[in-house]
């Protein structure tokens, strides 16, 4: 009888505990989205960010088997203005500087050439946006632990969620552009707090067709790595991109993509910048950089321009 009496007293406590546990379980389920939900939220945020009017100036270093180029790039409301400042990690010769100034002058003085450049950049951005939008449906995702972010991947010390992905057999690409996704598998890092993609690292497990403005196919074994991070004022930018692909264009011409691209030194610029104003900003910044190079060379006797790039 005492046990029955004791159980009667415990019953309200057990009911209360069960209610608390149920609430905590429901909260945990709500607060921990599935891998697919994480990707969908991050993709929605990436698409929104790509349409933001926040614009940057930054240094872009691109290396291929033929050599490397370093450019100062500023994003303007009329397209990206880019100025070559180094080749193979050495400052430009006087002749190459003059060629670069003439190229930029032609763009500023030719509305038609500038419109062509704008159309090309818009087409590229639209293709990238379509690929990003397809990510939630094109792959099957599974959790693979977490890892700390860094200044180059995500946010320093932020807890990033690591996901594995492989092609979704139910995915039906709407065009040849998205067809390339049917052959990719790899890993992804997502910042669950800011809903951004910090890394995509994948490879082609089979030959795939593609349509990036022209028809062709990519060979099995290709690899890509894209790292994105918070750079300034909560804005995220791609910091590094590595592409290793071979294939054919129009099924005839050989295709080889072998590039390492690193972006750095990001600064927010006015969203109202015109292309001409962007070019003037680049020229001013290059003069300042040249002064730093000359000062450094005078201090330590090292005139190697690569020290600044």
Chain-wide mean pLDDT for the chain? 86
Q: What's the chain's length in residues?
A: 309
Mean pLDDT of 39-68: 96
Q: What share of the chain has pLDDT > 70, as a percent?
A: 82
Encode 83-119: b = buried (16+ Cβ within 10 Å), e = exposed.
bbbbbebebbeeeebeebeeebeebbeeeeebeebee
- Supply the pLDDT for residue 223: 97
Task: Spell out the residues 6+ positions from residue 306 whose beta carbon is closer than 8 angstroms to its own.
Answer: 86, 89, 90
* pLDDT tens sequence across 170-187: 999 998 889 999 999 999
Mean pLDDT of 245-273: 91
Task: Report pTM.
Answer: 0.82
Alpha-carbon distance 236 to 270, whole Å? 17
- Between 301 and 100, the more confident residue is 100
- Between 248 and 226, the more confident residue is 226
Yes or no: say if 71 and 178 are a contact pair by the CB < 8 Å rule.
no
Alpha-carbon distance 192 to 161, whole Å? 7
pLDDT tier, 3 (very low <50, low <70, confident <90, very high otherwise): very low
Indicate if the pLDDT at residue 154 is higher than 90.
Answer: yes
CA distances from 221 to 177, 200, 202, 224 (A): 19, 16, 10, 10
The domain spans of the chain are: 1-32, 35-308
200, 277, 269, 303: which is closest to 56 by C-alpha? Answer: 269
Q: What angle do CA 34, 37, 38 make, to 5 degrees?
A: 85
Give the DSSP H or E segment for 283: helix 275-300
- Supply the pLDDT for residue 214: 63
Q: Which residues pair with 253 in a beta bridge?
A: 249
Question: For helices 35-50 and 111-138, what crossing angle results, to 10°?
Answer: 170
Q: How far is CA 233 from the centre of its chain?
A: 17
Yes or no: say if 262 and 231 are a contact pair by the CB < 8 Å rule.
no
pLDDT tier, 293 (very low <50, low <70, confident <90, very high otherwise): low
């Amino acid at each position: 009888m005492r046990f029955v009496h004791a159980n009667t007293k415990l019953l309200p406590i057990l009911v209360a505990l069960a209610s608390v546990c149920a609430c905590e379980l429901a909260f945990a389920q709500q607060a921990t989205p599935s891998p697919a939900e994480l990707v969908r939220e991050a993709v929605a945020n990436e698409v929104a960010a790509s349409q933001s009017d926040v614009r940057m100036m930054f240094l872009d270093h691109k290396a291929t088997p033929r050599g490397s180029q370093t450019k100062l790039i500023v994003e303007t409301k009329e397209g990206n203005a880019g100025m070559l400042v180094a080749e193979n990690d050495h400052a430009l010769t006087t002749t190459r500087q003059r060629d670069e100034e003439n190229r930029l002058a032609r763009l500023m003085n030719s509305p038609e050439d500038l419109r062509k450049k704008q159309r090309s950049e818009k087409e590229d951005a639209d293709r990238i946006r379509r690929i990003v939008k397809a990510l939630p449906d094109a792959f099957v995702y599974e959790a693979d632990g977490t890892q700390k972010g860094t200044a180059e991947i995500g946010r320093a010390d932020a807890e990033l969620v690591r996901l594995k992905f492989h092609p979704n057999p139910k995915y039906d690409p709407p065009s040849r552009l998205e067809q390339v996704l049917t052959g990719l598998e790899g890993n992804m890092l997502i910042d669950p707090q800011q809903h951004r993609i910090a890394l995509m690292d994948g490879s082609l497990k089979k030959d795939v067709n593609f349509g990036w403005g022209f028809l062709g196919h990519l060979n099995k074994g290709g690899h890509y790595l894209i790292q994105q991070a918070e750079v300034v004022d909560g804005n995220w930018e791609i910091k590094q991109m590595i592409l290793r692909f071979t294939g054919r264009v129009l099924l005839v011409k050989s295709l080889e993509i072998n590039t390492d691209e690193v972006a750095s030194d990001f600064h927010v610029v006015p969203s109202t910048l015109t292309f001409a104003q962007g070019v003037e900003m680049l020229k001013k910044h290059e003069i300042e950089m040249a002064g730093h190079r000359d000062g450094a060379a005078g201090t330590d006797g090292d005139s190697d321009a690569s020290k600044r790039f």
